[in-house]
Structures are given as structure tokens and as C-alpha cells.
Amino acid sequence: MTTIHNFNSISEVELIYTNTQPKNLRTQIVSSKSAAQTLRETIGNKIELKEFFYVILLNNSADVLTISKLSEGGITGTYVDLRLLFATALKAAATAIIIAHNHPSGKLEASQTDKTLTNKVKKAGEILDIRLLDHIIITPENHFSFADEGIL
């Protein structure tokens, strides 16, 4: 028996995003230092426990729309799915993003994997007209900024 599927109906995708924080109370990211501090506050005392990957979603004024944890890994790494990253950015109507992760080891060196991921995110963002402003690696005391180092 053959089943015939009706593909004539149009399915609808609904994107719902609500920011409950009033615009005048939103954090504004003005530098890699302010982004790193915001992330430290978000991760809290788990920063040295294991690796986390976050995306800061921003509007045109560099106001934080939201900060989303995309993955949580082990001591030496975590996985990032670009489709989920950009689905999150599109859902929030973000015009810019900052990606970030912590290094539990405390080392502030960008690995080749970090650099490759940054390039992939940048290229995908260009297609979607979502600017990648920075990729930040944070530790409890310091941070490494791809933008500040000129490698973005």
C-alpha cells in the first residue's frame, strides 16, 4: 500500500522572543572587558569547573538582548552547533553577537579549533547579516579577545 502525503498545505514557523527587561535597564557592551565581566557574572563560580559556550545577543545599540548558554562540556572542551547558535540569534532578532567560552585551565590561548569555529561563525553571520563582534575566552581573572588581538 502506498501512502500519499499532502504537501500542499503551508506550515508556519512561529518565532517568539520576549525580553522582559526594560530597554533602559539592559546592559550595554562597550568593550571586550565589559563583555567578559558580564559573562563571568553569568557563569558564576562554575567558571573553573568545566567548559561552557555562550552567545551574547545584541541589538544595533550593543544592548544585551539576552545571553544564551549553547553548550556545556567537560574539562577540556564543549561542542557548538552553529545551527542552534543562529537559530537563537534569529529568534531574538539580534543584529550582532559575541560568542564566548571559558577555559577551566586558566590558559588564555586560542586553540586552532577556537580559530576555526570563529571563522565559521563569522562567515555564517555574514550571510544572515548578523555581525560577529568578538569571540572571548574567559578565565576567573582575565580574558582573551579575538577582536582586540586583530584575529577576527
Structural domain includes residue 17:
no
Where residue 58 sits, what CATH number does that domain have? 3.40.140.10
Q: Which residues pair with 57 in a beta bridge?
A: 66, 97
Residue 10 binned pLDDT confidence (cut-offs 50, 70, 90): very low
Pick from 119, 130, 116, 42: which is nearest to 86 by CA? 130
DSSP helix, strand, coil percent of the chain (3-state; round to 5): 30, 25, 45
Structural domain includes residue 27:
yes
Q: Model's pTM, two decimal places?
A: 0.80
Structural domain includes residue 1:
no
Domain that holds residue 46: 23-145
16-56: per-residue pLDDT in tens? Answer: 445 555 555 567 777 888 888 888 888 777 776 688 899 99
54-104: per-residue pLDDT in tens? Answer: 999 999 988 888 889 998 888 777 888 899 999 999 999 999 999 999 888
User: In total, how many domains does the chain have?
Assistant: 1
